[in-house]
Amino acid sequence: MTAPILVITGPSGVGKGTLIKGLLERVPGLELAVSATTRRPREGEVNGVDYHFLGEEDFERRVAAGEFVEHAEYAANRYGTLTSELKRPAGGIVLEIDVQGARQVRDALPEAKLIFIEPPSFEDLERRLAARASDRPEQIERRLAAARDELAAAGEFDHRIVNDDLQRALQELSKLAATMSPL
């Protein structure tokens, strides 16, 4: 491993992507690991930038070849972090992954710092998922079902941040990232 690892997890729709975008702007040297997924790209997403979009067979081949540091199924799609994403020269690597993947990273890389992002309430999370209008109703229901399990696991993580105020949550996240060596 060439850089410290910061794992950011939490339920879908909690604002992980927004917080990470702000974090990358505030903390020089941090880079976001690009996750791989079998889900279809959303409008405007670019392969290799937003995700590595893989077919199911290609994803499985890479799993069998040991190319992932973590991988999991979430809301009927597969996601994972390719080991090659952790070998880039950077001041720190940020992983935006689900709870299953975060547990795998914790086991494989115990030096990684794990942060759980929480919504102010489950009802707020429901509103956020509906408002972003990028998923069909059945996909939202799958994400909410997964969120119930994920929220129950929040206590497993090194740090918890409630995303009830974006600027406050971003400040808290930035402080945690700044404590990572060699940042």
- Cα 137 vs. chain centroid, distance in angstroms? 22
Tell the residue number behind the tokens 């405007």, with chain if given.
44
- Cα distance between residue 143 and residue 66, in whole Å: 28
Share of the chain above pLDDT 90, in %: 67
Share of the chain above pLDDT 70, in %: 96
* pLDDT tens figures, 72-115: 887 789 999 999 999 877 789 999 988 989 999 999 999 999 99
- What pLDDT is attached to residue 116? 97
Domain architecture of the chain: domains with CATH: 5-178 (3.40.50.300)
Token pair of 146 as six digits: 């997964």
Q: What is the mean pLDDT of residues 113-136?
A: 87
pLDDT band at 183 (very low <50, low <70, confident <90, very high): very low
Which residues lie across from 37 on neighbouring strands?
53, 79
Give the neighbor-by-neighbor strand order of the sheet with 159-162. Answer: 30-32, 92-96, 5-9, 113-118, 159-162
- What pLDDT is attached to residue 2? 59
* pLDDT tens figures, 44-84: 999 999 999 999 999 999 999 999 999 988 778 999 999 99
* CA-CA-CA-CA torsion sign (6, 42, 168, 90): positive
Is pLDDT above 60 for 35? Answer: yes
Neighbours of 71 (CB within 10 A): 22
The SS3 call for residue 157 is coil
- What angle, rounded to 10 degrees, do the helices at 122-132 and 137-152 form? 150
Token pair of 44 as six digits: 């405007």
Is pLDDT above 50 for 31? Answer: yes
Is pLDDT above 70 for 1? Answer: no
Tell the residue number behind the tokens 């540091």, with chain if given.
69
